[in-house]
Amino acid sequence: MSKFLDSTRDFLHEWSLNILILLFGTTTLVQAFIVPTPSMDTTVMVGDHLLVDKLAYSPSGPVSKYILPYTEPKRGDIIVFRYPIDISQNYVKRVMGVPGDHIRIVDKVVYLNGHPLTEPYTQHVFPGLEAYRDNFPSEPVGPVYDRARQMLAEHVVNGELVVPPGSYFAMGDNRDNSLDSRYWGFVPRENIIGKPLVIFWSYDAPTEDWVGNTGSHVADLARNFFVKTRWDRTLKLIRGIPIH
């Protein structure tokens, strides 16, 4: 019974916060974000339109820290952040490691501080193993940026990646098809914008429609708005899952 009450209380708290932001939010409080790639399938999907809480990870002031629920990013949180390679782009991933954590991947299984993780939110779309992607850290293969190579050179200890202060290790839930910290390095703390709260609209269209193919996308919307809108995802809350 107590678990039910706790769950109900958490649900009401989340929705109360969402409603307040929807009613009174400005660009300083909330930001709309469109998911253009499948790296977080199926937690969030291509075409999901998210409202992002920009207050969640903001530095707390002397008074506001007693009023607003500021927090530091935690393992398992889903975050929106400025892509370290090009800060004009926003990415969405899951925090897998916070400062001080030791991370390695063995045959697709993530080990955090020496313990294998159970990750019900992930999917693996390719049955085979890739040396770098699925056994990490190792000799870099594929589209590995210089930032990631520097990360590997400076922060690998006894075969494990050690997350330094002020940085976070982030990965996509669509683990075999995600360009993430394995390939471009840590997410700096100052790059983190906020956490997604809710999907306010979801439309089934491919990545190219969301990244610049405006003419055909507008025509597709005009023809198929009601058919291709994913009504079952409308107003779906986005929640992280704590990982230890």
Taking only the tens of pLDDT, the chain with its 244 residues reads 555 444 444 444 444 445 544 544 445 678 899 999 999 999 999 999 999 999 889 765 555 555 556 689 999 999 999 999 999 999 999 999 999 999 999 999 999 999 999 999 999 999 999 999 999 999 998 899 999 999 999 999 999 999 999 999 999 999 999 999 999 999 999 999 999 999 999 999 998 888 876 678 888 888 999 999 999 999 999 999 999 8
Q: Pairing state of beta strands 109-112 and 48-53?
A: unpaired
* pLDDT for 215: 72
Q: Catalytic site residue 93? A: yes
Q: Catalytic site residue 39? A: yes
* pLDDT for 29: 78
The residue type at 99: P
pTM score: 0.85
* pLDDT for 192: 96
Indicate which residue of 2, 3, 39, 138 is catalytic: 39
Indicate which residue of 2, 7, 64, 93 is catalytic: 93
